[in-house]
Amino acid sequence: MVNKAVVAVIGVILITTLGVGALVGLQGGGPPPDESPANGNDENPDSQGNGTAVANGTANGTATPTAAAERTAIPGRQFTEKDIAANLTKRINKWRTAEGHSALRTDGTTANRLHEMAMSHSVAMADEGELTHVIGNESTGDRYKDAGLYDACQYRPPDKDRAIYQPDHPHDHQFEALAGTVAGDTYETDNGTQFNENESAVAAALLEEFKASNTSTERIMAPGLTKVGVGVEVTRDGAVYSTVHVCGG
* Whether residue 24 is found in the same domain as residue 91: no
* Whether residue 101 is found in the same domain as residue 222: yes
> In terms of Cα–Cα distance, which of 208, 235, 244, 36 is closest to 126?
235
Is 61 within a domain? no
Is 20 within a domain? yes
User: If 0-12 CB within 10 Å is exposed, 13-18 middle and 19+ buried, where does residue 211 land?
Assistant: middle
The half-sphere exposure of 77 on its side-chain side, counting CA atoms within 13 A, is 1
Q: What is the pLDDT of residue 169?
A: 73
* Whether residue 120 is found in the same domain as residue 224: yes
* Whether residue 11 is found in the same domain as residue 77: no
Q: What is the pLDDT of residue 148?
A: 96
Is 216 within a domain? yes
Range of the domain at 25: 4-32
Is 41 within a domain? no
* Whether residue 93 is found in the same domain as residue 179: yes
* Whether residue 239 is found in the same domain as residue 179: yes
Ordered mean pLDDT values, 10 residues apiece, the chain (249 residues): 38 36 33 32 32 30 46 94 98 97 96 98 98 94 95 85 76 89 95 95 98 95 95 97 95
Is 196 within a domain? yes
* Whether residue 178 is found in the same domain as residue 84: yes
Domains in the chain: how many in total?
2
Is 44 within a domain? no
Q: What is the pLDDT of residue 165?
A: 84
Q: What is the pLDDT of residue 164?
A: 81
pLDDT per residue as tens digits for the range 136-190: 999 999 999 999 999 999 988 887 766 788 888 766 788 999 999 999 999 998 8
* Whether residue 153 is found in the same domain as residue 86: yes
Is 46 within a domain? no
pTM value? 0.71
* Secondary structure in 3-state letters for 25-89: HHHCCCCCCCCCCCCCCCCCCEECCCCCEEECCEECCCCCHHHHHCCCCCCHHHCCHHHHHHHHH
* Whether residue 12 is found in the same domain as residue 121: no
CATH of the domain at 167: 3.40.33.10
Is 190 within a domain? yes
